Amino acid sequence: MTETIEKPAGSRVAPSRRSFLKWSGVATGTATLLASSTNLGMPGHGPAAAADGMTDADKTVWNACLVNCGSRCALRFQVKDGQIVRELPDNSGTDDIVGPTLRPCVRGRSLRRRVYSPDRLKKPLRRKDGTKRGDGEWEEISWEEAMDTIADEYKRIVSDYGQESIYFQYASGVTGGNITRDSWGRLLSLAGGYVGWYGSYSTSQITVSMPYMYGARFESNSIADSKHSKLVIYWGNNPIETRMSGGNNLWSATKTRKDYGVRTIVIDPRYSDTAIDVADEWIPIRPGSDAALVAGIAWVLLDEGLYDQDFLDKYCVGFDEDHMPDGAPKNASYRSYIEGKGEDGVEKTPDWAADITGIPAATIIRLAREIGNAKPCSILQGWGLQRQANGEYNCRAIMVLPLMTGNVGIHGGGNGSREGTINFPLATFGVENPVTTMIPAFKWTEAIDHGSELTALKDGVQGRDKLESDFKMLINVAGNINLNQHSDLNATRELLRDESKCELIVDVDNHMTSSARYADIVLPGTTNAEENDFIGSEYAGDTAYAIMVDQAIDPLYDCKSHYDMCTMLADRLGIKDEFTEGRTQDEWRSHLINETRKELPDLWSEDELHEKGVFRINNPEGTFVANKDFRDDPEANPLETPSGKIEIYSATLADMAKDWEFPDAELGDKLIPLPEFVETWEGPLAAREDKEYPLQMIGHHFKGRTHSSYGSVDWTKEAHPQKIWLSIPDADSRGIDNGDLISVKSRRGVVQGQAFVTPRIVPGVVSVPQGAWYEPNNDGIDEGGCVNTLTRIHASPLSKGNPQHTNLVEVEKYHA
Ligand SMILES: Nc1nc2c(c(=O)[nH]1)N[C@H]1C(S)=C(S)[C@@H](COP(=O)(O)OP(=O)(O)OC[C@H]3O[C@@H](n4cnc5c(=O)[nH]c(N)nc54)[C@H](O)[C@@H]3O)O[C@H]1N2
Ligand SMILES: Nc1nc2c(c(=O)[nH]1)N[C@H]1C(S)=C(S)[C@@H](COP(=O)(O)OP(=O)(O)OC[C@H]3O[C@@H](n4cnc5c(=O)[nH]c(N)nc54)[C@H](O)[C@@H]3O)O[C@H]1N2
Ligand SMILES: [Mo]
């Protein structure tokens, strides 16, 4: 069981940073899991066409929702006269914690509104001659013309600027797909390669920093394993809203709480849906201050003797002065930091932590006693708190508490990172990218603007000391990063408008998104309702599964599948045979099913898959315990860290700090070996000083959309309108009532939207749910309310990741 982390689409090879920092392979360990065939073929599998739904449909086929919420729900489309007339949920699986039914949420259930949305792209489009990007003037062209243009321009750009001027953008719109996800990556790799990315928009800070603590292979207990706990803490973790499938973490979290009655605490600036559904207590916290809370808790654990010295001595380095790596300076241990013997000379008392976090000292003391006394205790951290300018420290700090309390490697415990999952051993058709140069995913705008100045030590370039070229061609497939999900959209828009910088932008989508509006060529893709695929689960807890994706309707308009458009392009680049290997998309699906069966002999036949849709594998061990081997025998099973132990103090980071360059060190950009609280630009302390922008702003992931996907669907908009969360005191002092039209302003821009005035958010903090569609008006005010109009392009220090929850803003009643 691995902690599942996004890997680049179309690439089989996981990126690595230093040799010891390789990601854990996505499917490690599954082979042994699969040896247990007794778990296969769950009871309750129903055919697609069951008694529910319309009785006079022409056919009912299995399909799925493929967008990037991490859940992966099965759908059944009912088709009549060539149209999807009804969507039904999964009707297989159980109501147990094991093998659950993959019930889709409000988004999946409205997928057909997205398929038939009026803003569907219908024909290939080319930006009209003489207009600028973003002017919105298009001419419809044939697929032949579109592909000729792309092929010619691709060849010209490679010849003028080299292979490393091609960038294949981070994109997650079909992350749940297989053939549909990997087609473009396969094509571009076979054509000569592209600069890739590491450290996704989702998990950059934790993915890059965890190996310094746990080594290259890291894993974590499954969520359902917390049924063995005495206390569960969802720390900045909101599975009820971010893993909404009935088959995923929402289900495990709810079942664990309701069937086993485990006491549950949520630590979040917002009283989230998870707090509503499963928590006994909500502890509101200021964004970006989690490492300070941890330090305050650690102080109490030390003061009251509530820590496990034996565990720390046996399994960890860096906790106290007696267990430091060779060459570490004096008083550099975590204990010294807590006791005020470190460089800052400040004791991290509950009062100190209260001042930074906004949590009363008495609550911190009580929380520490609860954590120290609950045996075992499970801390499950989300990713919102690492999407911060000091995110690397916050996420690592939280993982110190399970070490101090000896909770690693046991049932009901865990290492304090995000919950783990088992993976389905799905065969894929990606190939290795021959170009090994990579940038941190968040750095692409800088790479367009001044790529050849980006270096390894300053910008996190991997595979080279510096980039060879500025990015001149940007390929964006099923993603809206270009101009919605990246930061500082007003600045990004200006960069994209400048055709002398990036010379060709190709965008493939279903909708005319703001990213598509700023492209040169827009290609209309089919949705998964219009093509065949065979896909696997992602964050599935202790039940992994595959879903048969069966084409329900013919491609709408002049849309094509990614596979078919790539085949056309491959032909023009002289690599058609390599790309297709002589197979159509449907033949590839059969091939991939057969390949998967080699690993998993019990996998159903294609006929059975068509009929029964969802194939499940249950964890034969029940629930998963991470780091168990290491706990049982740390000498025989050392971690892949330099010491073989869990490194609270990282000597590697201390060394890197000597070489890495931080032009903006005064903003809090630095590398330090301990997970300390680090104040940064626009952090919780800066908010107090800032007269102009005194409120901290985050942008939580929200029910109505998956990022920007489903953002134009009428049903989801009606059920979950975009609203800006604002506390009652902050609203009162500004004369704002619930429902008022307000504007939110940062140093980067202004958005407008409707106020949700609520006790559910900590005073001093605003949340603009991320993913709304960017719609700047003529005055530059974003009427769509996209949070990234407000966010800043300034990467976090270690992973060079997106600090999109670190922002200072001011709010006022909107005046037109
Ligand atoms: N401020 C802020 N910004 C954030 C975040 C945040 O927390 N705060 N979160 C970040 C995170 S975690 C992520 S993962 C990124 C996500 O950013 P993106 O990966 O850009 O995700 P989406 O916005 O969902 O864009 C997916 C696109 O795929 C398209 N699409 C969907 N299905 C299909 C299909 O079948 N075929 C084709 N061709 N296209 C399809 C959709 O129309 C949509 O335009 O955003 C990041 N941005
Ligand atoms: N419905 C829905 N589900 C989704 C997505 C979606 O867009 N919509 N996106 C999917 C994707 S790609 C990803 S990566 C995941 C994202 O999953 P996460 O990154 O975990 O989601 P967020 O909403 O950014 O943050 C989780 C919680 O952390 C809180 N938070 C923010 N900053 C801080 C902080 O500094 N400290 C603490 N303690 N808490 C903080 C937020 O209020 C929120 O409730 O969700 C996935 N699921
Ligand atoms: Mo994400």
Q: What are the DSSP calls for 558-591, one per residue?
A: T-B-HHHHHHHHHHHTT-HHHHHTT--HHHHHHH
Give the tens place of pLDDT for each residue, 544-569.
999 999 999 999 999 999 999 999 99
Query: Which residues lie across from 507 on neighbouring strands?
Result: 476, 522
d(CA 274, CA 264): 10
Locate the ligand 1 atom nearest the alpha carbon of residue 511 and give its number: 42
Among protein residues, the one with the nearest Cα to ligand 1's atom 34 is: 527
Among protein residues, the one with the nearest Cα to ligand 2's atom 38 is: 236
Among protein residues, the one with the nearest Cα to ligand 2's atom 8 is: 706
Q: Give the dihedral of Cα atoms 792, 794, 798, 799; nearest 10 deg.
A: 60
Name the amino acid, one letter, at 396. R
Does residue 480's CB lie within 6 angstroms of at least one atom of ligand 1? Answer: yes
Does residue 700's CB lie within 6 angstroms of at least one atom of ligand 2? Answer: yes
Q: Which two tokens stand for residue 766?
A: 């605003």
Helix axes 143-161, 562-572, angle to 10 degrees: 60
Does residue 87's CB lie within 6 angstroms of at least one atom of ligand 2? Answer: no
Q: Does the bond joining 376 to the residue before it have cis omega, within 30 degrees of 0?
A: yes
Among protein residues, the one with the nearest Cα to ligand 1's atom 12 is: 202
Q: Which two tokens stand for residue 465?
A: 């000391």
| Ligand 2 centroid – CA 444 distance (Å) | 23
Name the amino acid, one letter, at 109. R
Helix axes 562-572, 179-190, angle to 10 degrees: 10
Helix (H) or strand (E) holding 717: helix 714-719
Does residue 283's CB lie within 6 angstroms of at least one atom of ligand 2? Answer: no
| C-alpha distances out from residue 723 to 276, 287, 752, 753, 808, Å | 18, 19, 10, 6, 18
The domains located in the chain, with CATH, are 125-201+436-531+556-598 (3.40.50.740), 207-421 (3.40.228.10), 686-813 (2.40.40.20)
Among protein residues, the one with the nearest Cα to ligand 2's atom 45 is: 242
Ligand sitting nearest the alpha carbon of 441: 1
d(CA 789, CA 777): 12
Among protein residues, the one with the nearest Cα to ligand 2's atom 21 is: 384
Query: Which residues lie across from 560 on neighbouring strands?
Result: 525
Locate the ligand 1 atom nearest the alpha carbon of residue 200 and give its number: 14
Does residue 699's CB lie within 6 angstroms of at least one atom of ligand 1? Answer: yes
Ligand sitting nearest the alpha carbon of 533: 1
| Ligand 2 centroid – CA 283 distance (Å) | 16
Give the tens place of pLDDT for each residue, 783-796.
999 999 999 999 99
Does residue 801's CB lie within 6 angstroms of at least one atom of ligand 1? Answer: no
Name the amino acid, one letter, at 269. P
- Which segments of the chain have a pLDDT < 70? 1-46, 816
Among protein residues, the one with the nearest Cα to ligand 1's atom 40 is: 478
Locate the ligand 1 atom nearest the alpha carbon of residue 477 and give its number: 38
| C-alpha distances out from residue 494 to 21, 482, 746, 752, Å | 36, 12, 18, 21
d(CA 814, CA 250): 37
Report CA Rg, the chain: 26
Locate the ligand 2 atom nearest the alpha carbon of residue 767 and give its number: 42
The vertex-485 CA angle with 480 and 491, nearest 5°, equals: 105
Q: Tell me which residue has tokens 């800066």.
A: 686
| Ligand 2 centroid – CA 539 distance (Å) | 15
Locate the ligand 1 atom nearest the alpha carbon of residue 525 and give its number: 38
Give the tens place of pLDDT for each residue, 488-542.
999 999 999 999 999 999 999 999 999 999 999 999 999 999 999 999 998 888 9
d(CA 772, CA 774): 6
Does residue 627's CB lie within 6 angstroms of at least one atom of ligand 1? Answer: no
d(CA 537, CA 10): 17
| Ligand 2 centroid – CA 447 distance (Å) | 27
Among protein residues, the one with the nearest Cα to ligand 1's atom 23 is: 708
| Ligand 1 centroid – CA 773 distance (Å) | 11
**Closest Cα partner for 166 from 586, 505, 416, 421?**
505
Question: The pTM is what?
Answer: 0.95
pLDDT at 25: 24
Q: Which two tokens stand for residue 632?
A: 């049982």
Does residue 645's CB lie within 6 angstroms of at least one atom of ligand 2? Answer: no
Does residue 791's CB lie within 6 angstroms of at least one atom of ligand 1? Answer: yes
Contact 171, 479 (CB under 8 A): yes
